[in-house]
Chain A
Amino acid sequence: MSVLDIKGVTKQFGTVRAVDSFALTVGDGELVCLLGPSGSGKSTLLRMIGGFETPSSGSITIDGEEVIHLPPERRPTGMVFQSHALWTHMNVFKNIAFGLKLRRIPVAEVKRRVDEVLELVGLTGYGNRQTHQLSGGQQQRVALARSLVLEPKILLLDEPFASLDQHLRERLREEVRDIQQRLKITTLFVTHGQDEALSMADRIVVLHDGRMEQVAAPDMLYREPETPFVAGFIGTMNLIEGNVNGGTFSRPGFSHKLPAGDGPAIFAVRPEALAITPATGAGAARVHRVTDYGTHGLVDLELKDGLRLKSMVPEARDWKAGQPVDIAPRAFAAYRDDAVLYRSSAAQ
């Protein structure tokens, strides 16, 4: 059953269209990540769902009820901000209890629910602490508890870990995912980090310039990107611009069979699907740099016209800078006009 239904939502700021005809349905208990580079409209979209921005057009319904006309305080959503936004003149308990008190819930019940949610986020006994006495991670947990205690129908997370260090970020995203699954709370999560999105989401929505590029499960998004932007944005992808002529894609130094009509195309191949072998002749490319990651190696290649490609190899030691190589894509896709032109059967 869908909890959130967004239809044709557009947001215009002056001449800038921050969100353009966006549509999405989110099911009960689902965690959906809005992923995109800065300025792609993901935060604006989240703020429209939370009631902090009004769409220029379109509709947003939660449990079948139109919410666009409702102010934030009357929407069944809970938002966690990137900056924590804890109220520094209140201690942890008062921060979490504020929303419950506004609902005139009896004192004993408030205490029980605050204690419960503090335990849920792993901060039992921290109620009397002042917010400045907490670490960044603890502050973000309090912000999460403040939203969760009100049992919102939809939890909105606006880059909540962006201000935390890498180690803490990884730990917190696992904790948030655990809590989300335990409570089965429908969640929208904004991030510009693909690791975060790939590790947490049931589905990922990729946004670019205010438009939805693709919505899919993380593995599908990686394996079958539908646009060149998604292909380049998720993971590492070699994107080779060239032309198809008589069933062959070509550009100086590179050509490959491509069963598609003549015209310009973008040839896309992941580093792990680009095999290299020592050149038998002059070679299609030259090794520019080799990086050893221990578990594997990454070889930077340079085509004859200077285009750089990456190839993942099992052993970095087998390759030397300056060495001529031949290249052979094992699996690939091709794009034309922002759509898939061809995908090889084992494309990754």
Chain B
Amino acid sequence: MPVDTTFKPPRQVDWAGIGFAVVLSIVIIFPLIVVGLWAFANVWRYPNVIPQEFGLRFWYQTLSRPDVWESITTSVELAVSVTVISSIICLPAAFAFARLKFPFRSLLFFSFIAGQAFPKFGLLVAIAGIFLSLNLIGTFWGVVLIQLVGTLLYMIWIPVAAFQGVSPRMEEAARDVGASPLRVFWSITLPQAGPTIGAAVLLTFVNTFYETEGAWLIGAPAVHTMPILMISFINNQPVIQYGAVLSAILWLPSFFALLFARRVISGGSFARGFGA
């Protein structure tokens, strides 16, 4: 009988990996499942582990409310406005930080982290004081401005890393074969940095969509975003399902963002954005 002499390494069980996956599942997936169940539960009473009756009753009730549609529209308009304005302001600035040498460059660059380094609410209260005198409290553009502050870190730091990651030799090679500086930027620099910049834009959109503190402090009482409405539902309504349905709707941007990310952004782009 032939003897199989091929060396087979013993199969190792990655206990650390399994443990990590279990903890992640409990912390991330379990709460999502609970909220998902609540969103589709017509009846769910203690002590039942799963709902007694599934259905879309609360979806109809939630989506028939005009304030829900108004908040969805407001949130999308805010997120789009903030993302576009932030891109217009931050991307050229990021290019300048990445490629130009100017006085106080490092100081300015690190100043963008200040918004994240201190308690945000204190910063927002201070800005709200200024906005009050400028009549920006309770206005759409007041919320846009306050949310722009929160996007600076992502929209400067990540694109700077993206632009710095493009090899100067690649750009020189393009100049060498006849491309003007503008053409080099369009045909070489931007496509090379594009996926990472896409990641930054995506983060900005999603973060703005979910932002609550600034929207509440500056936008109240006139501007209602979806997360603010969800908080008021959870605080003021005895029916959990309203909040759960709004939560499920709020997942949509993340879901589409993830789909986009999978298609367009290579695995390392986010990591590269943070200097990895």
A binds B: yes
Across-interface contacts of B178 in A (CB, < 8 A): 73-74, 99, 102-103, 150
B170, B172, B177, B180: the one within 8 Å of A99 (CB)? B177
B174 within 8 A of partner (CB): yes
Chain A positions within 8 Å of B192 at CB level? 87-89
CB distance from B165 to the nearest CB of A (A): 11
Indicate which residue in A85, A98, A99 contacts B169 across the interface (CB closer than 8 Å). A85
Judge whether A150 and B177 touch: CB under 8 Å: yes
Instruction: Check A72–B169 contact: CB distance below 8 A.
Output: no
Q: Check A72 against B167 for contact (C-beta < 8 Å).
A: no
Q: Which residues of the other chain, A, contact B174 by a CB distance below 8 angstroms? A: 87, 98
- Which of A83, A88, A146 interacts with B177 by CB under 8 Å? A146
Which among B8-16, B56-64, B73-81, B183-191 touches the partner chain?
Answer: B183-191
* Residues of A1-60 contacting chain B, CB below 8 A: 50-52
Cβ of B271 within 8 Å of any chain A Cβ, yes or no, is no
Q: How many Å lie between the Cα of A346 and that of B112 in the bound state?
A: 72
Known: A83-B167, A85-B170. A50 touches B176 (CB 8 A): yes
Q: Once the chains bind, are A78 and B176 in contact (CB under 8 Å)?
A: yes
Q: Mark A230-267, 1 if CB is under 8 A from B, else 0.
A: 00000000000000000000000000000000000000
Rounded to whole Å, the gap between the CB of B63 and the closest CB of chain A is 42
Interface contact A79-B187, CB-CB below 8 Å:
no
Q: Could you tell me if B172 and A102 are in contact, using CB atoms closer than 8 angstroms?
A: no
Assess the A73–B167 pair: CB atoms within 8 A.
no
- Pair A72/B176 contact, Cβ less than 8 Å: yes
Contacting residues, chain B, for A78 (C-beta < 8 A): 176-177
Smallest beta-carbon distance A223→chain B, Å:
37
A86 to B167, CA, bound (A): 10
User: Are B191 and A89 touching (Cβ within 8 A)?
Assistant: yes
- B175 CB–A CB distance under 8 Å: yes
CA distance A146 to B170 in the complex (A): 12
Distance A144 CA – B22 CA, assembled complex (angstroms): 52
Task: Write the nearest CB–CB distance from A43 to chain B, whole angstroms.
Answer: 12
The 7 closest A-B pairs by CB, nearest first: A99-B177, A85-B169, A85-B173, A72-B175, A102-B178, A89-B191, A79-B176
- List 29 contacting pairs A-B, 8 Å CB cutoff, sorted by A: A52-B172, A71-B175, A72-B172, A72-B176, A73-B176, A73-B177, A73-B178, A74-B178, A78-B177, A81-B169, A83-B167, A83-B169, A85-B172, A85-B173, A87-B170, A87-B174, A87-B191, A87-B192, A88-B192, A98-B177, A98-B187, A99-B177, A99-B178, A99-B179, A102-B177, A102-B179, A143-B173, A150-B177, A150-B178
